[in-house]
Structure 1
Amino acid sequence: MKSVTEYKEYREYVLDYYRERKRCSAFTWREFARLAGFASGSYLKLVCDGKTRLREEGAKKTALAMGLAGFELDYFVLMVRYENAKTDQEKKKCFEEIQALGDANRVKILGSEMYTFYETWKHSVVRELAVAMPGAKPNEIAKVCKHAISASDVSESLRFLVKTGFLTRDIKGNYHQANVSLSTGNLNVVAVAVHSLLRQMGEFALDALDKLPISERHFSGITMGVTEESYAKVVHEIAAFRKHIVSMVANDINPKKICRLNVQFFPLTEDLT
């Protein structure tokens, strides 16, 4: 069975643990619940089915019942705490604790690189500029950014991007992208960082609306009434549109500037029926 640190969801780990024990013995959900100290014999099954959830004390008891100790026990409890967090800020704080735990124990945390990449606008912009400005020094990259970033921030970002494979560097010192476009995949830990990035980019959009001439930015919007069916169709069309835009610019050589495209579609009212 995989180490607990290779899991992104605690329910998945608990279910795999149960299946592994069941494969080797006559292990039951009732026995599992008894070992963890739960009165209901079906409690952990309900947890794995998504019908209820573990709370922190229950997480510790379940971890001990599965033989977890030390930092693995702490990791499992943090996974539960992350899942139960109600706000992005709470989730962010919790995942940073998970990262710190992994660093302290020299353990790679699933999704850690993607989380760090999307947590700030700097990495995505530096990743594009490093390729578009071959041979440029960090201070030169910093100077072309419309929003404040220091040369040391650029240097730190470049080290991170190379270390994690978002960029490669050839023998001449020029940077290249292993993949032109990136996907967040299905890691729910990344979603929190993406929310942070979207907020930053939203603020930059407002800044551009106030400071840039119309010839250098494009803003438009539509207010409309939709059904659930048409909402789903619009979301599908937006996804297809984004892919089409990426394909249009993917092979561009020597770009003139780095731009950001924000696509937003959200309700302005509560449900009317």
Structure 2
Amino acid sequence: MKSIFEYNDYRLYLQDYLDERKRYEKFSWRMFCREAGFSSPNFLKLVRDGAWNLSKVKSGQVARAMGLVEYEEEYFRQLVIFGNAVDDDVKNAALAEMQRIASEHKARVIDKDALQYYESWKYPVIRELAPLMPGANPREMAEECKEYVSAEEIRDVIDFLVNAGFLKKEGDKIYSQTDQTVIGSKDALSAAIRAMHKEMAGMALRAVDRYSAKERFFTGITVGVDEVAYDKIVDIIKDSCKRIVAVVGANKKTNQVCRVNFQFFPVTNKIKEKKHA
């Protein structure tokens, strides 16, 4: 069975623990519950299925039943908090604590690089900008960015991108992009990407007044939809993203980094159809 530090879903960890025990002995959810001190014979199966959450107290019981000790038990507790949280701040705090525990004990949290990449606009922008400026130092790159960023921040961002495999150092201050993609758990990425969307939306707002109409393109429409139309429009936007990526991939004369935002969101509540007598 994998180390607990390789998990970001405590429900999956419960399932894998059960499967591992079943490889060597007769073991079931009923037995698992009994060992953890639960009277309900299917409580942990319901937790695994997402019908119930583990509480702080119960997570300690389960951790000890699985033989987790000290920092492993604390990691599991944070894993439960992360999995149960609906608030982004709570999720990010739990993930940060998981990273701290793992780091202190020379382990790796698989969402760490993904979370940091989406932490700020600087990471995706510098990933695009650095290959365009071979031989440039961090201060020169910083001066080309429309949003303020210090030379020290640029240096830190490049170090991260190289170490995480998003950029490859070809020579002195010469970088190329790799095919490395940003991966991580659905929960961690959704929290991180929401933060990125907020930051990029703020940049778009400033762009309205910062650039002339020749330098930026803004448009929008307000429409009435139902669930079917909504899904079709989402598919159109996704297809547009793929087509833009294809255009960029075929372009060999890149000289600027731009951001494309698509926003499609409700501006009213769903209106219930009134039945007339």
Give 1:238 shift.
Answer: 1.0
Give 1:185 shift.
Answer: 5.9
Taking the TM superposition and a 5 Å limit, the aligned residue runs for 1:41-190 are 41-179=41-179, 182-184=181-183, 187-190=186-189
Larger CA deviation: 247-256 vs 131-140:
247-256
Mapped partners of 2:199, 2:44: distance in 1: 40
Q: Can you list the C-alpha shifts for 1:107-160, whole angstroms capped at 9, x where unaligned?
A: 110111111111111111111110111111100000011111000000011111
Give 1:251 shift.
Answer: 3.5
Taking the TM superposition and a 5 Å limit, the aligned residue runs for 1:212-231 are 212-231=211-230
Q: Can you list the C-alpha shifts for 1:148-183, whole angstroms capped at 9, x where unaligned?
A: 100000001111110110000113541000128x45
Contact 1:131–1:177 at 8 Å: present in 2 too?
Answer: yes
Q: Can you list the C-alpha shifts for 1:25-84, whole angstroms capped at 9, x where unaligned?
A: 221212211111112111001101111111111111101101111222111111110112
Contact 1:119–1:193 at 8 Å: present in 2 too?
Answer: yes
Give percent identity, aligned residues only: 39
2:196 matched to 1:197? yes
SS of equivalent to 1:258: coil
In structure 1, stretches of 5+ residues that fail to align are none
Give 1:15 shift.
Answer: 0.8
Mapped partners of 2:168, 2:191: distance in 1: 27
The code of the aligned residue for 1:190 comes to L
SS of equivalent to 1:175: strand
Mapped partners of 2:145, 2:173: distance in 1: 21
2:22 matched to 1:15? no
Mapped partners of 1:270, 1:196: distance in 2: 24
The code of the aligned residue for 2:175 comes to Y
Name the CA shift for 1:172/1:254 in 2 (closer, same or farther; >3 Å): farther
Mapped partners of 1:190, 1:165: distance in 2: 18
Contact 2:110–2:184 at 8 Å: present in 1 too?
Answer: no
SS of equivalent to 2:220: coil
Give 1:23 shift.
Answer: 2.8
Give 1:104 shift.
Answer: 1.2
Contact 1:132–1:254 at 8 Å: present in 2 too?
Answer: no
Name the CA shift for 1:211/1:171 in 2 (closer, same or farther; >3 Å): closer
The code of the aligned residue for 1:149 comes to V
Contact 1:54–1:80 at 8 Å: present in 2 too?
Answer: yes
SS of equivalent to 1:214: coil
2:20 matched to 1:26? no
Give 1:222 shift.
Answer: 1.2
The code of the aligned residue for 1:83 comes to G
2:255 matched to 1:256? yes
Larger CA deviation: 134-143 vs 21-30:
21-30
Mapped partners of 1:270, 1:165: distance in 2: 44
In structure 2, stretches of 5+ residues that fail to align are 273-277
Mapped partners of 1:126, 1:34: distance in 2: 53
The code of the aligned residue for 2:215 comes to E
SS of equivalent to 1:257: coil
TM-score (norm 1): 0.95
TM-score (norm 2): 0.94
Give 1:250 shift.
Answer: 1.6
Contact 1:130–1:175 at 8 Å: present in 2 too?
Answer: yes
Give 1:8 shift.
Answer: 1.7
Mapped partners of 2:47, 2:158: distance in 1: 42
Contact 1:8–1:187 at 8 Å: present in 2 too?
Answer: no
Contact 1:29–1:45 at 8 Å: present in 2 too?
Answer: yes
SS of equivalent to 2:214: helix
SS of equivalent to 2:171: coil
Mapped partners of 2:150, 2:173: distance in 1: 21
Contact 2:111–2:183 at 8 Å: present in 1 too?
Answer: no
Contact 2:168–2:176 at 8 Å: present in 1 too?
Answer: yes
The code of the aligned residue for 1:110 comes to I
